[in-house]
Structure 1
Amino acid sequence: MSAPVLTAAAARVIDAVKVYGVDDTEVRALDGVSVDFPAARFTAIMGPSGSGKSTLMHCAAGLDSLTSGGAYIGDTELSGLDDRRLTLLRRDRIGFVFQAFNLLPTLTVAENITLPMDLAGARPDPEWLETLIDVVGLRDRLHHRPSELSGGQQQRVAVARAFAGQPDVVFADEPTGNLDSRSGEEVLNLLGRTVREMGRTVVMVTHDPVAAAHADEVIFLADGRLVDRMQNPTADSVLDRMKSLDVQEARKP
């Protein structure tokens, strides 16, 4: 029997604890979570409101710090970095897609895509950039400004910007939250294509079972703890699992 193939983790947290407040106001947003986000995979994070899913993403991405435990990008432990090195790591090795598109209105599509690299004084790989522009379907919009684009097109620009520097991992926080269902489906398909056709890594926080069904795996949080993982999810299987978590939440005293 052949040995199983192990996939390296693009990002991971080990025994992650995040506490907000003190004494009577203390809230444990993360309570000992350990999870890997494998390279070249699309992972969705789900859970009831207040489960810690956004906190997990923010700590894994170095946007927030853990109270205890470790967060890693590749083999780099984030708590060991000073502010400057953490800023450089986020710039060079992590991409972000948020619910708000965060495009600069005075710049063209092409300029928005390359903005992080321009600020860093870096030059994008021309072949990679050309391929990315075709994947996101923006070649005929490169000289337009954000106000001339639909919401779905603006989010595609944000996706292209996140991947332009070939980061180790892209974190997406409710990336379809401001989109209609058709535009949202286009963006989710795009995220999936970057993983399956370009070998990139995506970690997405979402509350939508239909969005989560685009992922290779869904991890479920409840009360700041990892409670389940689901491979090859469907919208129905994710919805059923979320309903069971909601029932458990409702039964709490």
Structure 2
Amino acid sequence: MTTATTTRHAAGVADAVKVYGSGDTAVRALDGVSVGFPAGRFTAIMGPSGSGKSTLMHCAAGLDTLTSGVAFIGDTPLSTLDDRRLTLLRRDRVGFVFQAFNLIPTLTVAENITLPLDLAGTKGSREWIDALVDVVGLRDRLHHRPAELSGGQQQRVAVARAFAGRPDVVFADEPTGNLDSRSGEEVLNLLGRAVRRMDRTVVMVTHDPVAAAHADEVVFLADGRLVDRMESPTADKVLDRMKAFDAKGGRS
């Protein structure tokens, strides 16, 4: 059976298995996961602690390798790349936002945002950077250094830096984990605006149902397996789904 349109995936994995250790101490963090992350969409990954959600993100982003199966960015299988080409792919086609802001303290906001472009030896698009600065709301902070910013402002700089090179996909690992609820809400709204106003793709790992509700879709993992997907999530629906994991004895 064929469909009229085919979803284009910015990233994903097929039959992904990840095993840590060997023998009696082996841990199967991913157990045959196949999932694609649609381009131009905001996808959240959720599951109990130990479900494999961070492992899935790290393998899909090329930060870790699969034991078996395939991870891909666009049409490129990551397993076909040597270390140099994988590094270049991550630099040019993937953005990252982590719980820690990872800003360079001696650089200004403007210099931190354009750091990936500077390291790549390219100026990028001035119009794109200007539009990005407006989206994240930092035009009046461009000449400040990280120590002069609040935590929420620093994470907004990190988000802008992740999008500066127009990557195919931005992976965000608990991006609001170090923020208060108000600052976290600002960062989540920012990620949503980048997807909808700038046609970007975001894949976010989170444990927070409120954060997940900002996504277009939530994929749920349990015991290293993909067990559910939810379109148009709300915080209440996500929380109910997570409670169901606890009732079934999901790992904590």
TM-score, length basis structure 1: 0.97
1:142-190 deviation per Cα after TM superposition (whole angstroms, max 9, x unaligned): 0000000000000000000000000000000000000000000000000
For the residues of structure 2 that align with 1:129 and 1:223, how far apart are their CA atoms?
A: 41
Report the 3-state secondary structure (helix = DSSP H, G, I; strand = E; otherwise coil) of the residue aligned with 2:16: strand
Residue correspondence of structure 1 range 23-62 to structure 2 within 5 A: 23-62=23-62
Matched, 1:153 2:153: yes
For the residues of structure 1 that align with 2:50 and 2:11, how far apart are their CA atoms?
A: 22
For the residues of structure 2 that align with 1:91 and 1:19, how far apart are their CA atoms?
A: 26
Shift of 1:251: 9.4
Matched, 1:228 2:232: no
Task: State, as a whole percentage, how many aligned pairs show the same letter.
Answer: 82
For the residues of structure 2 that align with 1:221 and 1:232, how far apart are their CA atoms?
A: 18
Residue correspondence of structure 1 range 59-138 to structure 2 within 5 A: 59-138=59-138
Shift of 1:223: 0.2
Residue correspondence of structure 1 range 208-227 to structure 2 within 5 A: 208-227=208-227
Report the 3-state secondary structure (helix = DSSP H, G, I; strand = E; otherwise coil) of the residue aligned with 1:186: helix
For the residues of structure 2 that align with 1:52 and 1:250, how far apart are their CA atoms?
A: 12
Report the 3-state secondary structure (helix = DSSP H, G, I; strand = E; otherwise coil) of the residue aligned with 1:159: helix
For the residues of structure 1 that align with 2:179 and 2:210, how far apart are their CA atoms?
A: 14
The number of aligned residues is: 250
Residue number in structure 1 paired with 2:195: 195
Shift of 1:246: 1.4
Shift of 1:5: 3.2
For the residues of structure 2 that align with 1:238 and 1:13, how far apart are their CA atoms?
A: 23
Aligned letter for 1:235? A
1:194-219 deviation per Cα after TM superposition (whole angstroms, max 9, x unaligned): 00111000000000000000000000
Aligned letter for 2:47? G
Shift of 1:120: 1.2
For the residues of structure 1 that align with 2:248 and 2:49, how far apart are their CA atoms?
A: 13
Matched, 1:237 2:245: no
For the residues of structure 1 that align with 2:18 and 2:225, how far apart are their CA atoms?
A: 11
Q: Is the 8 A contact 2:48 2:251 kept in 1?
A: no
Q: Which runs of 5+ in 1 are unaligned?
A: none
Aligned letter for 2:229? R
- Compared with structure 1, are the counterparts of its residues 124 and 251 closer, same or farther at alpha carbon in structure 2 (3 Å cutoff)? closer
Range moving further from structure 2, 4-13 or 190-199: 4-13
Shift of 1:250: 5.5
- Compared with structure 1, are the counterparts of its residues 119 and 250 closer, same or farther at alpha carbon in structure 2 (3 Å cutoff)? closer
Residue number in structure 1 paired with 2:184: 184
Q: Which runs of 5+ in 2 are unaligned?
A: none
For the residues of structure 1 that align with 2:208 and 2:136, how far apart are their CA atoms?
A: 22
Report the 3-state secondary structure (helix = DSSP H, G, I; strand = E; otherwise coil) of the residue aligned with 2:241: helix
RMSD (Å), alpha carbons: 1.2
Shift of 1:70: 0.1
Aligned letter for 2:59? C
Q: Is the 8 A contact 2:209 2:239 kept in 1?
A: yes
